């Protein structure tokens, strides 16, 4: 199947990016999923947002079943020429930590989480200690 397949460039595939003409790239293969959009259990929007890029990670993140992967072969139209994938849309490999721009909202929520990590156990310990102390001191004198 692969040897006779047509090879598409990114530009060619990316043109098919709407509901009436929708192609996706998954694992180096090109699929024309136009007839499937209305039947897709995950909805059409999610597939449309996977156009104009390498959708491999998006597709695999969902954990599609074996039967979904089998189904997909019906829509195969050719191979994808990975050399034509523009660098700015290359999401086929997760970005390295260095490449990710620092996100301040993530940073601050990470900081809050760190504080909670330390403060919560201390609060629990303090209230356990206070309860024990209060429990003891409020008991009637046994002697
Ligand atoms: C030809 C391509 C595709 C086929 C044949 C396909 C098929 C399916 C099928 C059969 C399901 C139901 C669950 C399962 O059996 O795995 C599903 C769910 C789903 N798919 Fe796809 N899919 C395709 C492409 C995509 C793409 C590109 C995305 C983009 C992220 C996507 C996102 C989802 C989501 C979000 C669900 C719902 C998962 C859930 O609610 O649990 N699918 N798909």
Quick one: pLDDT at residue 98?
47
pLDDT at 43 over 70: yes
Q: How many CB atoms sit inside 10 A of residue 32's CB?
A: 17
Query: Does ligand 1 have an atom closer than 6 angstroms to the CB of 59?
Result: yes
**Is the model more confident about 16 or about 96?**
16
Q: pLDDT over 90 for what percent of the chain?
A: 57
The atom of ligand 1 lying closest to the CA of 74 is 1
The atom of ligand 1 lying closest to the CA of 61 is 30
* CA of residue 135 to ligand 1 center, whole Å: 57
Q: What is the mean pLDDT of residues 89-95?
A: 59
Quick one: pLDDT at residue 139?
56
Nearest CA to ligand 1 atom 19: 42
pLDDT at 78 over 80: yes
Query: Does ligand 1 have an atom closer than 6 angstroms to the CB of 22?
Result: no
Of the ranges 36-45, 99-108, 119-128, 133-142, the best mean pLDDT one: 36-45
* CA of residue 36 to ligand 1 center, whole Å: 11
Residue 4 pLDDT level (bands cut at 50, 70, 90): confident
Residue 84 pLDDT level (bands cut at 50, 70, 90): very high
Contact in structure between 90 and 15 (CB atoms under 8 Å): no
Contact in structure between 47 and 40 (CB atoms under 8 Å): yes
């Amino acid at each position: 199947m692969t040897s006779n397949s047509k090879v598409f460039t990114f530009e060619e595939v990316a043109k098919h990016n709407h509901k009436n003409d929708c192609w996706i790239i998954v694992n180096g293969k090109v699929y024309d999923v136009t007839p499937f959009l209305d039947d897709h259990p995950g909805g059409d929007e999610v597939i449309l947002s996977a156009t104009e890029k390498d959708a491999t990670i998006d597709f695999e993140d969902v954990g599609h079943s074996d039967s979904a992967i089998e189904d997909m072969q019906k829509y195969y139209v050719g191979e994808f020429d990975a050399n034509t994938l523009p660098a700015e849309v290359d999401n086929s490999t997760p970005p390295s930590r260095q490449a990710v721009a620092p996100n301040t909202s993530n940073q601050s929520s990470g900081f809050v989480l760190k504080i909670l990590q330390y403060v919560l156990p201390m609060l629990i310990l303090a209230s356990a200690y206070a309860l024990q102390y209060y429990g003891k001191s409020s008991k009637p004198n046994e002697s």
